Structure 1
Amino acid sequence: MIAIDSMMVCLDLSEIDEKLVAFTRSICERLPVKKVYFVHNIKTYELSDDFRETFGDVDLSKEVEANIADIVAEQFAGGCDHEILVSEEPNTELMMADLVKRYKVKLTVLGKRMSGKSTGALGTKLLRILPCSILVFPETARFNIASVLAPIDFSDASLHALRLSKSLTDQLGLQLEILHVYKLPTQYFPLISEEKAIKKAEEVVNGRFRELQKRHQEIAGVPYLLVRAAGKSTAERIALQLRKGKHGLLVLGLKGNNPIPSLSLGSVPSKLYNMDINVPLWLVYSEEVIQ
């Protein structure tokens, strides 16, 4: 069973905060969550001279905390135990990473505005630095999740995400679909028949699925789909399947085995995060990777 002892919600005082807090409440209604931390960091060095001159010695932290408290009171009614944390640190990412370690946060919820409204720079940094799983909620997403898409590449990270997806769908009574995107070595066409290459590739992948189902009986009955990349990236094919299958949640595993932080996120999760997809994206680490 999936249970979350500690969850962090990153707020930025934008219009998405209300949706993010309401989404957090819906998580608490569906899953056992012990405590939620609503977090905001004030970068005081970014405040203009005009602001300082106009408002003088106003206690900005207290004002921000009061603003967040109003949103929480309105959108989190009936939620679990919670606390509001407002800080004034020069580096937001490091501050939040410290909170994750200090409060043993298992899941961070992060809002995402569409690309025309935001560069997504802070979100990308948080994905790379936070030592916990992250649930990204786009501003256009909905709360009523009925089905989950779990793409796998047969790596340990994707299999961990698949097992979590199966536990989640069993726990909440949701539908689950597994997706694998495969590519053909097109440099050998027309030396070999494209039709034969597709048939052979799908035979190999189907064999890997049969072996996977033998090792993990719990997913034996879960439907899976093979999709050829066919000139598109894996991330683009996943995004297309999301829209086609009308899924409400995308779950991806993060490897986290690269010693260089900027490279540890992986190309597919990074590309999907930067796309304007309309469903929540759950990026999960295994406990072994986090440790």
Structure 2
Amino acid sequence: MYYKLKRILAPIDFSAQDEQIITFLSAIARMVDVEEIFFLHVIPQDHWTKEPGYSTGQSIEELLESKFATGVAEHFKDHPTQIHFRIKHGSKAETIVTYAKNKMIDLIAIGKKRFRPDPSPKPVPEEALKYSHPIEFLTSSPIVEKESSGYLVRKVANMSPCSMLIIPENLPATISHVIVPVDFNDASKVAMEKAYEISFQSANNPKIDCLHVFSAPINGFHTGMNYKDWIDSIAEGRRRAFEDFFKKTRIPERSAVNCKFIHDPEGDSAKVIARYAQQIKASAICIGTEGRSFLASLILGDVAERLLAYELRQPLFIIKDRTKNIGFFDALFKL
């Protein structure tokens, strides 16, 4: 029996990207057996604003819920998946992760916006100038803004007790070609099986390509041997390793999965994966992550974390084994 996505959590912020997230999740819910989708809007504790419902007598929660219901109804019309909308107050990342833990969520689907630098400095508000010690406002900084643009996504991904789906702003029309980076461990096995499951149950039957990025350590290079032959010999060994690895999966058809082997001379697997996905116009990337210890099993693998730093044009699935992480997550929040 394959790993199922029964419950999905989707943080929303009522931005333009929410429409894409809702549309994409409605398509996923038709691909796999999704029982419930929880849409969550987090209001920061220090957020203050005028009461939007002053003239209508409605609270901010009631107005947001009404707006959400209007936007989501059409996408899940006559659909068996149960839809929930919740509003929470608190720190965004911690609230999202805690909610995922409490609801035993299988997948967090979160949008990642593109980096848009603001070249002009922001003026100091006139109100601040009335004080004897004016509030100091920093001018915009492309470096800081680029770092903060994906901060919430990276923080949630590292803390999440379950798998993640990072949704870019410009989504492909269909999921027709999925790349699965593999390094022959259990996490790669789970990612391959999940990609196959989605492909097998999908009406458009997307193509799955595994990608193994390898390096050739110079200290293993024998003097007198042609360097290209040395690379080819390593690649051949990795091909044999993949065949042995595939036999351990629950994928019945060998023809269902191809594997590409790429030499990485720079030692940056994430960059190779991102470039390859762009080159072949892949429509999704699915990567497994698994730590070497009980503590590390909650934290992202190095390649997965570095992939989050790139502005990928494809949805990125990060597959975690929730059953291995939930115990540590419980202990973490009791500290």
**Shared fold, TM over 0.5:** yes
Give per-residue Cα distances to partners, 1:57-86, cap 9 Å, x unaligned: 973222322222222134443442111001
Offset of residue 54 of structure 1: 9.1
Contact kept, 8 Å, 2:297 with 2:325, in 1: the verdict is no
In 2: Cα distance, 1:230 partner to 1:38 partner: 43
**What TM-score, normalized to structure 2?**
0.77
Partner in structure 1 of residue 19 of structure 2: 18
Matched, 1:220 2:254: yes
Matched, 1:144 2:198: no
**What TM-score, normalized to structure 1?**
0.88
In 2: Cα distance, 1:209 partner to 1:253 partner: 16
In 2: Cα distance, 1:104 partner to 1:36 partner: 12
In 1: Cα distance, 2:305 partner to 2:86 partner: 28
Matched, 1:210 2:210: no
> Match for 1:62: what amino acid?
E
Range 52-61 or range 237-246, more displaced:
52-61
Contact kept, 8 Å, 2:187 with 2:320, in 1: the verdict is yes
Partner in structure 2 of residue 110 of structure 1: 110
CA spacing shift, 1:215–1:88, aligned 2, 3 Å = closer
Matched, 1:27 2:3: no
Offset of residue 8 of structure 1: 0.8
Partner in structure 2 of residue 43 of structure 1: 44
Range 52-61 or range 15-24, more displaced:
52-61
Partner in structure 2 of residue 184 of structure 1: 216
Contact kept, 8 Å, 1:93 with 1:126, in 2: the verdict is yes
Offset of residue 159 of structure 1: 1.6
Percent identity between the aligned chains?
A: 23
State the superposition RMSD in angstroms.
Answer: 2.7
In 1: Cα distance, 2:51 partner to 2:12 partner: 26
Partner in structure 2 of residue 233 of structure 1: 268
In 2: Cα distance, 1:28 partner to 1:262 partner: 27
Partner in structure 1 of residue 123 of structure 2: none
In 2: Cα distance, 1:24 partner to 1:101 partner: 20
Range 58-67 or range 198-207, more displaced:
58-67
In 2: Cα distance, 1:54 partner to 1:277 partner: 36
Could you say what secondary structure the match of 1:199 adopts?
helix
Range 274-283 or range 243-252, more displaced:
243-252
In 1: Cα distance, 2:96 partner to 2:39 partner: 11
In 2: Cα distance, 1:267 partner to 1:209 partner: 21
Offset of residue 285 of structure 1: 1.1
> Match for 1:198: what amino acid?
I
Bigger Rg, which one: 2
> Match for 1:82: what amino acid?
I
In 1: Cα distance, 2:162 partner to 2:231 partner: 38
Offset of residue 262 of structure 1: 11
Aligned residues: 287
More helix by share: 1
Offset of residue 107 of structure 1: 1.1
